[in-house]
């Protein structure tokens, strides 16, 4: 785990990294903004953003965009994600994770595997989920977590999300006095799970709702994002590894735009005429693929992201984001 950045962490400006993505294995204790700050220093530019916030307690895949690749991040955020998590049954907290104050405790030792599987099944598929009150969702122009920390009552509306996988990997009883459970508290149950969820799903809220369904309360004690869209831990680097690479090679390496797009979207190969038209923002013949498609030039460059639509009685592909210069 790397040390958190400090105000005195200033070094000589580095060469500007090429446009592209950087997949970081975020350490615990860092905010996503902290990682962006370190990324800006390593990339030699302030034009760095991230896709999909991870809480400070969470670790794992955090995708950074550098230069023009920041324009791709909106689409990376919208992809589904995989997480490994540990849910502690037997206590509900104000934040739905281990950082908050305990609201209630209950004996979770009587929860059997069949009950657990039934609770998980009820939270799988298309569900309505009320986000955690300490989420970044805006309420009347202010983040929900800011209102909650100011002592306000925060009521968030349920939102449709998709939990396409919610698998129980292991169940471990936790006795009073062990692993953070108070000596005078009832027995708890730690449940290791892996989930695949749509964009906007809060794994903390899954922990909360599972505990509520079982009547014992629940909260998240560990969270690791193992995949975001087309990017998994197999292509992620720690901040220390990225710094060592930039020191060794003289500039931070990035995943080029075309390669990044191929990992995120269906791909359409363009004719030279289509590539020229799209580079000017003109519409071309439909791709025949639902959703957003990466349109590649004959030389393998990312020209634009396109989406099929109908105009003037014809099926056409319109550019939603043009990246190649005209």
The dihedral of CA 213, 219, 221, 225: what is its sign? Answer: positive
Q: How many Cβ atoms from other residues are within 10 Å of residue 298's Cβ?
A: 12
Beta strands in the chain (DSSP E): 20-26, 48-51, 59-66, 81-89, 91-93, 102-105, 125-129, 138-139, 142-143, 159-174, 188-197, 218-228, 231-232, 267-269, 284-285, 292-296, 302-311, 314-322
The dihedral of CA 41, 46, 47, 50: what is its sign? Answer: positive
Q: What is the DSSP letter of 52?
A: S
How far is the C-alpha of 29 from the C-alpha of 93, rounded, in Å? 19
Annotation marks residue 82 as catalytic: no
Q: Tokens 């281990």: give the residue.
A: 98
Q: How many Cβ atoms from other residues are within 10 Å of residue 98's Cβ?
A: 16
Query: Are the C-beta atoms of 195 and 203 separated by less than 8 Å?
Result: yes
Out of 19, 55, 96, 97, the active site residue is 55
How far is the C-alpha of 126 from the C-alpha of 250, rounded, in Å? 47
Query: Are the C-beta atoms of 24 and 54 separated by less than 8 Å?
Result: no
HSE (CB half, 13 Å, CA atoms) of 62?
Answer: 28
Q: How far is CA 105 from the centre of its chain?
A: 30
Query: Are the C-beta atoms of 304 and 278 separated by less than 8 Å?
Result: yes
Known catalytic residues?
55
């Amino acid at each position: 785990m790397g040390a958190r950045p400090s105000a005195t962490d200033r070094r000589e400006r580095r060469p500007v990294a090429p446009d592209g993505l950087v997949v970081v294995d975020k350490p615990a204790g860092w905010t996503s903004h902290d990682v962006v700050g370190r990324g800006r220093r390593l990339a030699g530019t302030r034009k760095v953003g991230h896709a999909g916030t991870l809480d400070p307690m969470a670790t794992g895949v955090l995708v950074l965009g550098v230069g023009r690749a920041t324009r791709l991040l909106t689409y990376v955020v919208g992809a589904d994600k995989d997480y490994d998590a540990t849910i502690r049954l037997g206590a509900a907290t104000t934040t739905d994770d281990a950082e908050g104050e305990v609201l209630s405790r209950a004996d979770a030792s009587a929860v059997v595997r069949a009950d657990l599987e039934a609770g998980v099944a009820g939270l799988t598929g298309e569900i309505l989920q009320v986000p955690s009150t300490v989420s970044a969702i805006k309420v009347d122009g202010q983040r929900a977590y800011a209102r909650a920390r100011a002592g306000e009552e925060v009521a968030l509306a349920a939102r449709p999300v998709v939990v396409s996988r919610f698998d129980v990997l292991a169940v471990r009883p936790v006795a009073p006095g062990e692993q953070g459970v108070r000596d005078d508290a009832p027995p708890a149950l730690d449940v290791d799970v892996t989930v695949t969820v749509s964009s906007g799903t809060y794994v903390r809220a899954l922990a909360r709702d599972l505990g509520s369904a079982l009547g014992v309360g629940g909260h998240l004690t560990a969270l690791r994002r193992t995949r975001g869209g087309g990017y998994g831990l197999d292509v992620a680097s720690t901040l220390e590894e990225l710094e060592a690479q930039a020191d060794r090679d003289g500039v931070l390496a990035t995943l080029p735009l075309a390669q990044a797009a191929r990992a995120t979207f269906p791909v359409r190969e363009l004719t030279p005429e289509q590539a020229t038209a799209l580079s000017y923002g003109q519409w071309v013949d439909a791709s025949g693929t639902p959703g957003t498609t990466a349109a590649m030039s004959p030389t393998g460059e990312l020209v634009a992201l396109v989406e099929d639509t109908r105009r003037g009685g014809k099926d056409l592909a319109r550019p939603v984001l043009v990246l190649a210069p005209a």
